[in-house]
Amino acid sequence: MPAIDRYFDVLLERGGSDLHLSIGYPAMIRAKGELLAIDDKPMDHPTIVRLMDEIINEDRRVYFHAYRDLDFAYGYEDKARFRANYLYKTTGPGAVFRTIPSEILTADQLGLPKAAIDLAEKRSGLVLVTGPTGSGKSTTLAAMLDHVNRTREGHILTIEDPVEFVHRPKKCQITHREVGDDTPSFADAIRSAGRENADVILVGELRGRETMQMALQLASFGILIFATVHTNSAPATINRFVNAFPASQQSQIRGMLSDSLAGIVAQQLLRTADGTGRIAAQEILIGTTGVAAAIREAKISMLASLIQGGGSYGMQSIDAVLAKLVAEGKVRPEDALEKAADKDSFAKIPKVSAALKSKTHT
Residues 120 and 83 in one domain: no
CATH code at position 89: 3.30.450.90
The burial of 297, by beta-carbon neighbours within 10 Å (0-12 exposed, 13-18 middle, 19 or more buried), is given as exposed
**Is residue 153 included in any domain, yes or no?**
yes
Predicted confidence at residue 352, as pLDDT, reads 87
191 contacts 214 by C-beta, under 8 angstroms: yes
Residues 219 and 168 in one domain: yes
For the cut 80, the answer to whether the pLDDT of residue 237 exceeds it is: yes
Residues 85 and 116 in one domain: no
135-158 average pLDDT score:
95
Domain span at residue 56 reads 5-100
How many domains does the chain fold into? 2
**Is residue 343 included in any domain, yes or no?**
no
Residues 95 and 141 in one domain: no
Is residue 300 very low, low, confident or very high in pLDDT (cuts 50, 70, 90)?
very high
Q: Which of 48, 78, 100 is the last residue of a domain?
A: 100
For strands 34-37 and 154-160, give the pairing: unpaired
For the cut 70, the answer to whether the pLDDT of residue 170 exceeds it is: yes
Across the chain, mean pLDDT equals 93
Find the Cα–Cα–Cα–Cα dihedral 56, 43, 65, 99, rounded to 10°: 50
Residues 127 and 146 in one domain: yes
What percentage of the chain has pLDDT greater than the value 70?
A: 99
Is residue 286 very low, low, confident or very high in pLDDT (cuts 50, 70, 90)?
very high
**Residue type present at position 43:** M
170 contacts 149 by C-beta, under 8 angstroms: yes
Residues ≥6 apart with Cβ < 8 Å to 203: 159, 186, 190, 211, 215, 225, 226, 227, 228
Is residue 362 very low, low, confident or very high in pLDDT (cuts 50, 70, 90)?
low
176-197 average pLDDT score:
89
* SS3 at position 28: strand
Q: Which of 51, 68, 100 is the last residue of a domain?
A: 100
b vs e for 58-80, b when ≥16 Cβ sit within 10 Å of the residue's Cβ?
eebeebbeeeeebbbbbebeeeb
Question: Cα–Cα distances in Å, from 245 out to 122, 227, 233, 234, 251?
Answer: 27, 18, 19, 18, 10
Is residue 186 very low, low, confident or very high in pLDDT (cuts 50, 70, 90)?
confident
Question: Cα–Cα distances in Å, from 30 out to 11, 36, 47, 116, 345?
Answer: 8, 6, 21, 28, 32
∠ CA 159-184-21, rounded to 5°: 75
**Mean pLDDT lowest among 56-60, 96-100, 174-178, 206-210:** 206-210
Predicted confidence at residue 187, as pLDDT, reads 87
Predicted confidence at residue 161, as pLDDT, reads 87
Is residue 287 very low, low, confident or very high in pLDDT (cuts 50, 70, 90)?
very high
Q: Which of 54, 77, 100 is the last residue of a domain?
A: 100
**Is residue 352 included in any domain, yes or no?**
no
What percentage of the chain has pLDDT greater than the value 90?
A: 77
**Is residue 218 included in any domain, yes or no?**
yes
Predicted confidence at residue 301, as pLDDT, reads 93
Reference 82, options 62, 95, 107, 100; nearest CA is 100
325-338 average pLDDT score:
93
For the cut 80, the answer to whether the pLDDT of residue 361 exceeds it is: no
Predicted confidence at residue 91, as pLDDT, reads 93
Instruction: Describe the crossing of helices 234-243 and 247-260 by its angle, rounded to 10 degrees.
Output: 140
pLDDT in tens, 203-221: 988 888 999 999 999 999 8
Residues 143 and 47 in one domain: no
Alpha helices in the chain (DSSP H): 5-13, 45-53, 58-67, 107-110, 114-120, 137-151, 186-193, 209-220, 234-243, 247-260, 289-296, 303-308, 318-327, 333-339, 343-348, 350-361
Residues 94 and 115 in one domain: no
Residues 150 and 244 in one domain: yes
**Is residue 40 included in any domain, yes or no?**
yes
Residues 303 and 162 in one domain: yes
**Is residue 278 included in any domain, yes or no?**
yes
Output 358 or 262, whichever has higher pLDDT. 262
**Is residue 241 included in any domain, yes or no?**
yes
Predicted confidence at residue 354, as pLDDT, reads 85
Residues 72 and 123 in one domain: no
Predicted confidence at residue 360, as pLDDT, reads 62
Reference 102, options 84, 83, 80; nearest CA is 80
Pairwise CA distance, residues 320 & 133, whole Å = 22
Pairwise CA distance, residues 315 & 32, whole Å = 29
8 contacts 98 by C-beta, under 8 angstroms: no
Residues 54 and 182 in one domain: no
Residues 176 and 260 in one domain: yes
CATH code at position 189: 3.40.50.300
Name the DSSP letter for residue 316.
B
**Is residue 83 included in any domain, yes or no?**
yes
5-22 average pLDDT score:
94
Model confidence, pTM? 0.86
